[in-house]
Amino acid sequence: MTTGMRTAPNEFPNTDRDWMVGARCRQVDPELFFPSETGVIRAAEAKTVCALCPVLAACRNYVLENRIPYGIWAGLTEQQRRAIRTQQNRNKV
């Protein structure tokens, strides 16, 4: 059952979103990906959805390239994405 469609914010520079057609998160509650302060269990559920998503790699590229700061994307928390970006920046030096 489709309960909602997760969409990307329009303010980010990478506008290629064709891959989102195959997103598994389109078939679950979008709020699963934006846990509250006590939403550790919901975040874990979101990561489970991402783990089986056929567009995980495209999603990960998109979210890191666009520096999307909130929510669970590509199985990564906000903190995990920041850590990856920090490491990527260090590797550029």
Nearer to ligand SF4, 40 or 57 (CB): 57
User: Rounded to an integer, what distance in angstroms lies between the CA atom of residue 59 and that of residue 64?
Assistant: 9
Nearer to ligand SF4, 54 or 87 (CB): 54
User: Rounded to an integer, what distance in angstroms lies between the CA atom of residue 19 and that of residue 16?
Assistant: 8
Contact present, 72 and 56 (Cβ < 8 Å)? no
Minimum Å gap between C-beta 93 and ligand SF4 is 29
Minimum Å gap between C-beta 73 and ligand SF4 is 5
Nearer to ligand SF4, 73 or 81 (CB): 73
